[in-house]
């Protein structure tokens, strides 16, 4: 029996043997006292890689984004977010529920950007009129997951930063996969981070660490975020065990993301040959392949295709209405990609199970 080809998400990556060894051997202390040397090392490394003054280890990307929004926004302030952003769709409304922050969602354009005229419009409220929530932060996401894993163009980041500055609000970048974006664009991650006041990225996705995200920014914002992290229950004691994996992730797992992008391209090329599937975007820009089922060309539905592939050992996710997402990562080889293409070809040439 072959192993399962896990394409639902790069969050399924497992820590490497070197990470496990580093965790076991890490120098530890109480990080709530600021005395875990391994956490401090990871925070300094992260800040340096992103060209920021400081960084703070967070248990998850969700908490990093939440801490950032609460750092930049008072209760009753307004966070301008993308309607298709992870923050708005997948993070349980944390800033509203826990922080009293009002979300103003702006439709995310097909290229992953938030149209800046709409951002300006959301900002242009009369500060002397008591009926309006006052804007405090703009959050943008790169790569934009629900728009196909598209990296936002650096020129757009610069324009968004200029708009935020002109409007007197902060810019937060949800860069969960910022190293994938940087790779796709051929620029250092720090060049992307430079435009934002705070940046979040995940250690626990393509970088293959088991736990953790980093929030980076200026020293003052990160000090505030550190206090908020404690308030949210994210102050961790001997977190060096996690941080040791994160250090390996940054030192050893960034360059190999190129393999994931090559595998995504290989997968997309294979799927493009199959009748009944429509890729979008084509070619993929990062480690995500998105496609939909062409109902004119096959009797399969999104659900029947996912189920039948699952039964044959290839797992994919429905993400957004009638869109299928397949994500490559360190646990997926070129051979796995070829097997996924073969399995989908088999599935498409057989009838869907009754009722799906």
Could you give the angle at which helices 257-272 and 178-185 cross, rounded to 10 degrees?
Answer: 70
Beta strand 324-327 pairing with 198-202:
unpaired
To ligand PLP, the closest distance from the beta carbon of 106 in angstroms equals 16
Q: Which of 207, 176, 208, 175 is nearest to 194 (CA)?
A: 175
Q: To 10 degrees, the CA torsion angle through 29, 35, 38, 44?
A: 170
Cβ nearer to ligand PLP, comparing 213 with 224: 213
To ligand PLP, the closest distance from the beta carbon of 131 in angstroms equals 32
Cβ nearer to ligand PLP, comparing 202 with 305: 202
To ligand PLP, the closest distance from the beta carbon of 204 in angstroms equals 6
Burial class of 96 by CB neighbour count within 10 A (0 to 12, 13 to 18, 19+): middle
Cβ nearer to ligand PLP, comparing 77 with 149: 149
Burial class of 127 by CB neighbour count within 10 A (0 to 12, 13 to 18, 19+): exposed
Cβ nearer to ligand PLP, comparing 60 with 301: 60
Q: How many CB atoms lie within 10 A of CB 128?
A: 6
To ligand PLP, the closest distance from the beta carbon of 59 in angstroms equals 8
SS (H, E, C) 9-66: CHHHCCCCHHHHHHHHHCCCCCHHHCCCHHHHHHHHHHHHHHCCCEEEEECCHHHHHH
To ligand PLP, the closest distance from the beta carbon of 308 in angstroms equals 27
Cβ nearer to ligand PLP, comparing 43 with 86: 86
Q: Which residue's CB comes closest to ligand PLP? A: 61
Cβ nearer to ligand PLP, comparing 182 with 308: 182
To ligand PLP, the closest distance from the beta carbon of 237 in angstroms equals 20
To ligand PLP, the closest distance from the beta carbon of 98 in angstroms equals 14
| Residue 6, C-beta contacts closer than 8 angstroms, at least 6 positions apart | 12, 315, 331, 332
Cβ nearer to ligand PLP, comparing 229 with 339: 229
Cβ nearer to ligand PLP, comparing 31 with 86: 86
CA angle, residues 258, 264, 267, in degrees to nearest 5: 140
Please report, as ranges, the residues that interact with ligand PLP according to CB under 6 A: 60-62, 65, 86, 141, 145, 174, 176, 202, 204, 213
Residues 39, 31 contacting (CB under 8 angstroms): yes
Helices (H) and strands (E) in the chain, counts: 14, 13
User: Hey, is 175 helix, strand or coil?
Assistant: coil
To ligand PLP, the closest distance from the beta carbon of 62 in angstroms equals 3
């Amino acid at each position: 029996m072959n192993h399962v080809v896990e394409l639902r998400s790069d969050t399924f990556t497992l820590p490497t043997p070197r990470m496990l060894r580093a965790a076991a051997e890490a120098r530890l202390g109480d990080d709530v006292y600021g005395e875990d040397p391994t956490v401090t090392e990871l925070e300094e490394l992260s800040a340096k890689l992103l060209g920021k003054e400081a960084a703070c280890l967070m248990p998850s990307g969700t908490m990093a984004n939440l801490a950032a929004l609460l750092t930049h926004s008072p209760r009753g302030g307004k966070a301008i977010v993308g309607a298709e952003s992870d923050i708005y769709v997948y993070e349980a409304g944390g800033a509203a529920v826990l922080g009293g922050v009002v979300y103003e969602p702006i439709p995310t354009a097909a290229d992953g950007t938030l149209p800046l005229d709409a951002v300006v419009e959301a900002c242009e409220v009369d500060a002397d009129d008591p009926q309006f929530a006052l804007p405090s932060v703009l959050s943008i996401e790169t790569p934009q997951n629900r728009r196909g894993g598209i990296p936002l163009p650096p020129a757009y980041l610069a324009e968004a930063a200029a708009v935020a500055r002109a409007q007197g609000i902060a810019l937060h970048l949800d860069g969960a996969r910022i190293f994938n974006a940087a790779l796709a664009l051929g620029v250092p991650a720090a060049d992307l981070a430079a435009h934002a006041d705070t940046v979040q990225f995940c250690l626990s996705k393509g970088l293959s660490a088991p736990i953790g995200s980093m929030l980076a920014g200026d020293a003052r914002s990160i000090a505030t975020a550190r206090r908020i992290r404690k308030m949210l229950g994210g102050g961790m004691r001997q977190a060096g065990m996690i941080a040791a994996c994160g250090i390996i992730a940054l030192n050893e797992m960034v360059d190999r993301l190129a393999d994931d992008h090559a595998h995504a391209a290989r997968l997309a090329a294979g799927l493009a040959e199959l009748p009944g599937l429509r890729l979008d975007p084509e070619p993929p820009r990062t480690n995500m392949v998105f496609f939909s089922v062409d109902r004119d060309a096959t009797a399969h539905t999104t659900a029947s295709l996912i189920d039948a592939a699952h039964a044959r050992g290839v797992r994919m996710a429905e993400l957004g209405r009638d869109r299928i997402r397949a994500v490559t990562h360190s646990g997926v080889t070129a051979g796995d990609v070829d097997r996924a293409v073969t399995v989908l070809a088999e599935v498409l040439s057989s009838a869907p199970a009754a009722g799906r």
